[in-house]
Every structure is written in structure tokens, then in C-alpha cells.
Chains A and B, each alone.
Chain A
């Protein structure tokens, strides 16, 4: 893949550059501006240096939100990745209408507006009017996601599994379809067990899509906002207040602009770090350098 070197290609990229600059760089500079100043109104700004950053780094509630966020993202990965692989392995391999139907059904949750995902689980999880909540109550468990922090947390987790496991499954399915049938035949002749086939053929071949899935799921779960906002509003207490929720509350609710801006920058840098890992990986895959 040796593409010709041509700097005039920049002319084709300029529209994207201008548009994204308008919606990314200007806003980002505003955030930087806020993060180092105390702004009361037009023309009334005071340089405060790193004060807001120090305040953010010492904010107890923010630490709690960060810990909750990391726990949540790890739990999401620990459940969705294995479950997604399992579902992908269970999908039919032919190209008939059944496969198409399964693909469409699996993709359905991915296309539902995120607030409606919250609404669906809000309805489904209620013990008085929801099938799910009522079923758990019937098992003798005192389940109430609006009052009990543990139940709320678990409900958000199950909701995320419901919403996004299909993404992992679809990616893995695409990876599995790329395996030539000859590999399976060879394994059969060697008398390989199901586990050995998975471990030595399917898993290595899914490596590329799996890393994409892990990174996408990590980053998206790290930015989760809408679904818990609708389902629990971050409560009860702060049980389901994740980073985006806390940030929005600070910026729009309490109007702590300086702290919110400093927080935004730190938040953005964390995500940027993961983007870099993602990008490095994806460009390696893109050039066909698979081991």
C-alpha cells in the first residue's frame, strides 16, 4: 500500500478541518480559558492559574465518581466481552434468512435512542408496573432500583449489558466469518477439542475485532450519561453518578464554570490517552500487520 505523496490532497480535507475546528477547537479553547480564570461576567475575569485544577484533584465527591466510573467500566467489560463472544459463537453460520433475522434482532438495541433505553428499563424494572421488577420481587428479593443503591447500580449495569453486548457480538461475528472453513476442517482431523478450536483458531482470529470492541466499550462506558440520567437521575444518593453526570451537574446545575472546565480538561485527557492507544492499534491493523 504505497499511496502517492500529494500535498494538494489537503484541499479535499479543508472542509472537514474547518467544520470540526469550528465545533471542536473553539469550544476547547473556551474550556481552557475557563479552567485558568475566574469569570464573573464580560470583562471581569481574574487569572487563577492552577487553582481550579487543584480543587478538582482534591474533590472527594469527584474521587467517588471516578472510582464508580472505573468500577462500572470494568464491570461492563468483564460481562459484555465474554457474553458477546458466546453469542457470536452461537450465531448461525450460513447466509440464509435466519442469519439476517438474528443480525437485525441483535442490532435492535443499538439503534434505540439512549434516553429511550433509559425509559424502557425504567418501565421494565419497576416492581409495580414492570415485568422485570415484578419477576425479581416474585423470587422473594426486595428489589427497588429507585431506593436501593445496590439495585440501582445493578440495574444500570444490566441496562448497559442489554444495550451494548450486541455490538461486541456483531464485531466478533464479523471476525469469525473471516476464518476460512479449512481451519476448522484441519482442527477436526487433528481431533481438536471445542476449547482448543476456540483457543487456537477462533480467539487469535478475533484479536483485531476484540481489541476494537474492548476499546469502544471502554470509552463509551466511560462517557455514559443519558441512560442513567433517565433511569435513576444519578441516584439514589450518588450511587449511579458517573463522571459525565457529575460534570454536567457542576457546569449546568451549579454553574461552577472554573472547576467544571478544569475537570473537563482532565476528563478529556484521560479519554485522549485511550484514543491514542486505540489509534496506534487500529493503524497497525489497517496496514495488514497482523501477527
Chain B
């Protein structure tokens, strides 16, 4: 290939040097696009944070870019009023429950899909996918009746099981992507060394894909955390999630904007805290392990 030597040059150049070598105009235009887009992303979030630190009097008296008189009163209200903070506890309960269930059942299944061919494997995989793509609204009514029949209505377990509908397929897909990256020779060597399947899986394979498990757990957590429709329908009082608490307050309590904003800020924090750890896998997770 005639391009070979040039290609090697390009590989040898560090990326920063290449960026510098690019025309100055283009670099600045790129930065402008990126900065504008990130501003567009952050402005609404900033506005909510800003509002959560204001009193309702200040919110309604006019626009101020900074809270003139910053107050934590809205946050204090949420942390001291059981009808508010129990919403967070309920949400965390079913989200954690769902993540544990999803990972437990998805791990062996993903292994099966990544390592073997078996009767109906492709159909099974497609069927799992259809559940990820099913509109939750379709399942609203039957879920309501099903869980009422089993006496699960208004428990965290009901929501956790309902969220399995889309989180289990998601977990299988992402894990399968990570597992396929592990060479099969490792399995074969372990079996030859006399490892039984459960022992091999628990002591060798799971540690090997712990990054994948972490990413999968993050995505299960996230998709269960952001869902409102099923969580709201399957609970009434005892297991009411924070999302439902927020919608109720919007319509009934005469628009307590500061409190609403504070509740919103608190729901963003869990995701914002852990996102740093999965930043390099975000695209892979959203593309169901296919990137």
C-alpha cells in the first residue's frame, strides 16, 4: 500500500498535535458549537437549581439570575416531611430491588447467549427485545390487575417486577456485549482444569466482566429511576415513588415552585454522582452493548 508510510506517521502523531495542526478557524468553530450546545443543556438545569434556593416570594416577584437571599428552606422541608422523603426511600427501594433481580437472572442468560447456540436462541433474543420496545402504556392495565390479584399492589416489589419488563432484556443485551469480548479460551482452560460451571462462573468469569456488570447495574438503576408511568400506576400510598409525589404537588398544593425545584434537584443527584464512573461506557450501554 502506498499510503502505508503516511498512515504510520499519523499513528505516531499524538492527538493534541493533530488538533493543533488543524486549521485554527475550524477548531474555534467546533468549540463554539460545543459550548453553545452545553449551554443549552445546562441553562434549564441551572434555572431549576437557582429556583430551588429561592423563597416562593422571590420566585414570583420577578426574574433574578442568582438567588438574592439564598435559602435551604426548601431542602429542609423535603428532608423533614415524611410525605416527601418517604418518596425517595420508596423509589430507592424498588430501584435497588429491580437492579438486583435484573442482574441475577440476566447474568446466566447473557452467558448462554454469548457462548452457545441452542434451540430457538435467536427467537428468544428477539422476544426479549420486543419487551424492551413495548410501550409501557400497553401494559398499564394488565399490570394493575395482575399485581392486585397477587396482593402485590402498592408494594416496592410490584414496581420492581414491572420494571423487569424492560430492564431484564436491557441487562441481557449489555452483558452479552461485554461477555462476548472475553475470549472463549478462558472458559475452556478453566473447564479443563476441572472447574465446575458454577465455580468457574462465580470465581473466574464474574470478576473478569465486573466493569460490564457495573455498567449494566448503572443502566438498570437509571432506567428504573427515570420511569414514572408504571411506578405511579402500581402504587397508591405505601410505596409511592418520589416522581408521583412531585406530580401530585404540582396540581394540588398551589404551585410551590421552590419545593418542586428542590425535589427535582434531589432526583438528579444520584445519576450525576455515579455517571463519572461509567462515562466511557455510556454509548455502549445505550446502544445495548452494540458499540
Per DSSP, chain A at the interface is: helix
- Which residues of chain B have C-beta atoms less than 8 A from A93's C-beta? 15, 18-19
Q: Which of A46-54, A56-64, A142-150, A244-252 contacts B (4 or more CB under 8 A)?
A: A244-252
Do B250 and A119 touch (CB < 8 A)? Answer: yes
Do A209 and B10 touch (CB < 8 A)? Answer: no
Chain A interface bracket (under 10, 10 to 19, 20 to 34, 35 or more)? 35 or more
- 12 contacts across the A-B interface (CB closer than 8 A): A4-B115, A24-B165, A28-B142, A114-B227, A115-B228, A123-B47, A180-B11, A181-B15, A186-B3, A223-B135, A264-B137, A286-B290
CB-CB under 8 A for A181 and B229, given A19-B105, A123-B261, A162-B44: no
- Which residues of chain B have C-beta atoms less than 8 A from A198's C-beta? none
Do B108 and A132 touch (CB < 8 A)? Answer: no
- Which residues of chain A have C-beta atoms less than 8 A from B121's C-beta? 9
B287 contact from A174, A225, A230, A276, Cβ within 8 A: A174
Check: B93 CB closer than 8 A to any chain A CB. Answer: no
- Which residues of chain A have C-beta atoms less than 8 A from B108's C-beta? 12-13, 15
- Which residues of chain A have C-beta atoms less than 8 A from B43's C-beta? 124, 131-132
Check: B68 CB closer than 8 A to any chain A CB. Answer: no
Do B233 and A252 touch (CB < 8 A)? Answer: yes
Give 12 A-B pairs besides A30-B142, A103-B280, A174-B283 with Cβ atoms closer than 8 angstroms.
A9-B115, A10-B118, A19-B101, A22-B161, A108-B275, A116-B246, A120-B48, A123-B51, A189-B6, A260-B141, A261-B141, A275-B133
Do B135 and A94 touch (CB < 8 A)? Answer: no
B contacts with A, residue count (CB < 8 A) = 107
B139 contact from A27, A194, A222, Cβ within 8 A: A27
CB nearest to A99 among chain B residues: B279
B279 contact from A104, A109, A279, Cβ within 8 A: A104
A209 contact from B38, B109, B145, B291, Cβ within 8 A: B291
A124 contact from B8, B11, B47, B109, Cβ within 8 A: B47
User: How long is the Cα–Cα vector from A216 to B216 in the complex, in angstroms?
Assistant: 18
- Which residues of chain A have C-beta atoms less than 8 A from B228's C-beta? 113-115, 226, 229
CB-CB under 8 A for A90 and B34, given A17-B124, A108-B41, A219-B133: yes
Q: Which residues of A contact B (CB under 8 A)?
A: 3-10, 12-13, 15-17, 19-20, 22-24, 26-28, 30-31, 34, 83, 86-87, 89-95, 100, 102-116, 119-124, 128-132, 134, 162, 165-167, 170-171, 173-175, 180-182, 184-186, 189, 194, 208-209, 212, 216, 219, 222-223, 225-226, 229-230, 243-244, 247-248, 251-252, 257, 260-261, 264-265, 267-268, 271-272, 274-276, 278-279, 282-283, 285-286
User: How long is the Cα–Cα vector from A244 to B164 in the complex, in angstroms?
Assistant: 20
CB-CB under 8 A for A6 and B47, given A111-B268, A114-B228, A248-B229: no
User: How long is the Cα–Cα vector from A8 to B197 in the complex, in angstroms?
Assistant: 12
* Interface 1/0 per residue, B248-291 and A, CB below 8 Å: 00100000010011001001100110011001101110111011
From residue A279, how far is it (CB to closest CB) to chain B in Å?
5
- Which residues of chain A have C-beta atoms less than 8 A from B92's C-beta? none
Do A20 and B287 touch (CB < 8 A)? Answer: no
